Structure 1
Amino acid sequence: MPLSQQPPVRVGIVGLSAKRGWAAKAHLPALRRLNGFEVTALSASSADSARAAAEKYGIAHSFGTAAELAASDEVDLVVVTVKVPDHREIIEAALAAGKAVFSEWPLGVGLAEAEGLAALAAERDLHTFTGLQARSAPLVRHLRDLVADGYVGEVLSTSMVASGRGWGAEVPEGSAYLLDRSTGANMLTIPFGHTLDGLISVLGDFDEAAPVGAVTATRRREIKDPRTGDVHRPDVADQVVLGGVLASGAVASVHFRGGQSRGTNFHWEINGTEGDLVVTGDHGHLQMGEYTLAGARGSATERTEIAVPEHYFEPELAELRGTDAYNVGAAYAQLRRDLADGTSVVPDFAHAVRHHRLLDRIERAAAA
């Protein structure tokens, strides 16, 4: 059956709040602009909170728990947008109910938890998707094609320096949990993890047979919350340096810093035998925000800006271009095609495990 003739995917969002949050900022706007999806249900921290959100957004069904949402006959796809420590229980309930699952990244608190969730999904032969949406960004997809088509020739090396925005001098509102290693949500797993997956989507995986070098450090030992005056003592890295070799043989280096710099906040170079490509932006969260691509090749000595062709953009998401919701929407558009065509372009839980494994490898290298 053609995609346009298939019934809409009925979506239940776990963590959609009437007050704030990533689900309201990115997932709901994206889903409501795409054909083929219908948001039919939500769950929140309590039944009252869920009812308030359902009334605000005009959603038919609200549930006080994620397990109730997953069990609903009105839901085909469970979307998990809550904090990482709550992922496992929610995903297990959704998989037990036989539902497809879209989970925000990171998939779990550490490698072992992610492996367990991927194994359960594989055992039940269910569709899974992970929100590593940097690779859905039009610029990143165009960059991948430029490299594959030989714009730079053979890739010799790639280097990146980036700022994490958070993990700087102050604690953003509601973000103290990002300073606690036990939550699994920190600079290494979130912006570094998202952006590193974007790099891999363009240039390929790191060579599993070659060692990686890594340094992590917590340079800000006390961080103040300007609203409350509370002082937090983080146990997560605000400096991450990675050096390694990709499967292609290209050498890669990445330096991620907490906070914002008065200098460079995002600069990514890809250097090859025939040319160079450079991506710049104002922060290191490649999964969101606006970036500029420039390049030069052959006899050219100066870089020129390279526009992303229109065919890399989803027409239905035109109103969201330039917002944090766009790349989430692009991932959902591909997710719909994956479900219809049997493809697996959007990262699944198995992919998430491979990425968790790489981050675990980096942490172990830094600790050695």
Structure 2
Amino acid sequence: MAPIKIGFVGLSSRGWASTNLAPPLLKSPLSDQYTLTAVSTSSAESARVSAEKYGGLFSRPVKPYHGSTEAIANDPDVDLVAVSVKTPQHKAALIPAIAAGKDVFVEWPLGRNLQESIELAEAAKQKGVRTLIGLQSWQTPLTNKVKEWVSSGKIGRVLSVNWIGAKPAEIPIWVPFHSRSPGDGDYGLDPNNGATFLSIPVGHSLSNIIYALGPVSSVSATSTQLFKETKFVGADNQPTGETMPSLTPDQWAFTGIMRDSGAILTASWRTGGTATKETDKARPTLVWLIEGEEGHIRVESTHLFGAVPQVAATHKVILNCEEVAITDHELGNTGLAWLEFAKGEKGNYPTFDDAVDLYKHLDAIERSAKEGRRVNVDI
């Protein structure tokens, strides 16, 4: 089968695409299944630099585009348009590609909100294109092992699920500290941009739970805002003295009923506590406990990024009182996603429809916290 030809929107010399999305494509067996044929960035100069860099890495000419994604979307030498830009730009970048009948990939979140995500999923469905969303938990060896243990009955019928996750203060985004990347401005602090503490860390964590254990039928949520402002830090991670009011909740919790098992899910996410000081090095960033009639699964971490298993693989995993070693795949979770997508209909990968289902969970959590009532998850 001929390699899938990728046109990459937002693949510059730095950022998530250059460090996590493109590098796996150079490794075997992905190097035989994909080839990069075009890039599109914000300016002609950055596009030229990117095309030269990746042309050398992929040992073939890479076409440079800039500005609107219409040009790269209509390039006959592009099969799949991969988008890695800020969330508010997702819709404008994806619509021309979908209209051109190209398969599409985009990082999570799909859209700025549930409605925009639904619109993008419907557009792709009407055009009949394949979609891939960057929810890396679907490829995480840890989450897949948990899913396997539960589905095979290793712990019997699931009775309850508990998830306690934390974003330590040392990760400088949202609160209490926020790092400004060049040209980033206050992007992550404006809730209208759709890149909030709820949509990203809570969303990715919830994706782990839903993928391993199935969706939630209803939620009763609570949120609070303990940090009224964020302190900006510089490249040295030290406060600059500049602050900005925080506009969104920074602590979330909810209880819910798992649709498939009927088990109670109790989940919470916190931020603000430190994780690297001597007095806090043993503070857990993740505790995930699944109790069944015949056993239990316990996942723990004190790693800075422990609450996002698709990023950090430093977890202590217990199955029925025995510790189990789980290691990452050499392709990484992003590479495994590319691998599954290349399998076509046989592949196991999250689509835009899966992104909408996750957004419906987040929307129900947000509405429940605002309205003080239990909300059904409409999926």
Q: Is the TM value for this pair above 0.5?
A: yes
1:113 aligns with 2:116: yes
Which residue does 1:276 correspond to in 2?
296
Name 1:124's counterpart in structure 2: 127
Q: CA deviation at 1:30?
A: 1.3
State the distance in 1 between where 2:62 and 2:145 align. Answer: 39
Letter in 2 for 1:291: T
Asked whether the 8 Å contact 1:167–1:258 carries over to 2, the reply is no
Matched, 1:367 2:367: no
> How big is the shift at 1:344?
5.5
* Equivalent-residue separation in structure 2 for 1:28 and 1:260 (angstroms): 33
1:7 is the counterpart of 2:30: no
Q: Does 2:192 align with 1:182?
A: yes
Specify the alignment match of 1:329 in structure 2: 335
Q: Structure 1 residues 328 and 112 mapped into 2: Cα distance closer, same or farther (>3 Å)?
A: same
Contact conserved, 1:158 with 1:269, CA < 8 A, in 2? Answer: yes
Structure-1 separation of matches of 2:199 and 2:8? 23
| CA distance in 1 between partners of 2:300 and 2:166 (Å) | 12
State the match for 2:242 in structure 1: 230
User: Equivalent residue for 2:377?
Assistant: none
SS for the counterpart of 2:325 is coil
Query: Counterpart in 1 of 2:277?
Result: none
Tell me the residue number matched to 1:36.
33
Partner of 2:21: 27
Deviations 1:242-287 (A, max 9, x none): 2101011111111111245432211111111111111122232232
Instruction: Provide the C-alpha distance between the structure 2 equivalents of 1:14 and 1:177, rounded to a whole number of angstroms.
Output: 19
Match in the other structure for 1:214 = 221
Relative to the length of structure 1, the TM-score reads 0.88
Q: Distance in 1 between the 2:43 and 2:241 partners?
A: 29
Which residue of 38, 49, 52 maps to 1:52? 49
**Corresponding residue to 2:351 among 341, 344, 348:** 348
Equivalents in 1 of 2:95, 2:335: separation in Å? 25
**Cα distance change on mapping 1:241 and 1:154 into 2, 3 Å:** same
**Matching residue of 1:305:** 323
Could you tell me how far apart the structure 1 residues matched to 2:143 and 2:273 are?
22
Measured against aligned partners, the alpha-carbon deviations of 1:313-364 in whole angstroms (never above 9, x if no partner) come to: 65xxx2x5xxxxx111111111111x2xx23621111111111111111100
Q: Which has the higher strand share?
A: 2
The question of 1:285 aligning with 2:281 is answered no
Residue 95 of structure 1 and its aligned partner are, at CA, apart by: 0.4
5+ unaligned residues in a row in structure 1: which ranges? Answer: 1-5, 298-302, 321-325
2:263 matched to 1:253? Answer: no
Please, which runs of 5 or more residues in structure 2 have no aligned partner?
Answer: 56-60, 235-239, 275-279, 372-379
**Residue 62 of structure 1 is aligned with which of 32, 40, 64?**
64
Q: Whole-Å Cα distance in 2 between the matches of residues 329 and 233 of structure 1?
A: 38
Q: Distance in 1 between matches of 2:108 and 2:286?
A: 21
Does 1:82 find its partner at 2:85?
yes
Name 1:137's counterpart in structure 2: 140
Instruction: State whether residues 298 and 319 of structure 2, in contact with CA within 8 Å, keep that contact through their aligned partners in structure 1.
Output: no
Partner of 2:210: 200
Alpha-carbon offset, residue 168 of structure 1: 3.2
User: Over aligned residue pairs, what C-alpha RMSD do you find?
Assistant: 1.7
Listed one character per residue, the Cα deviations across residues 79-134 of structure 1 (whole Å, up to 9, x for unaligned) are 11111000001110110111000111110010110111111111111111111111
**Paired AA for residue 112 in structure 2:** V
Give the aligned residue type for 2:121.
A
Deviation at 1:167, TM superposition (A): 2.9
Letter in 1 for 2:10: G
Count of equivalent residues: 339
Per-residue deviation, 1:304 = 2.7
What TM-score results when the alignment is normalised by the length of structure 2?
A: 0.85
CA separation in 2, counterparts of 1:217 and 1:257? 10
Report the secondary structure of 2:111's partner residue. coil
Question: In structure 2, what is the equivalent of residue 300 of structure 1?
Answer: none
Cα distance in 2 between the residues matched to 1:344 and 1:364: 34
Distance 1:278 1:157 in 2: 12
Q: Deviations over 1:153-195 (max 9, x none)?
A: 1111111111124333211232631111000001111111011
343-352 or 83-92, larger mean C-alpha shift: 343-352
- Tell me what 2:255 maps to: 243
Query: Percent same amino acid at aligned positions?
Result: 35
| Counterpart amino acid of residue 306 in structure 1 | V
TM-superposed CA distance for 1:212, in Å, is: 1.0
Query: Does the residue aligned with 2:20 lie in a helix, a strand or coil?
Result: helix
Structure 2 CA distance, aligned partners of 1:306 and 1:78? Answer: 39
Q: Secondary structure at the match of 1:194?
A: helix
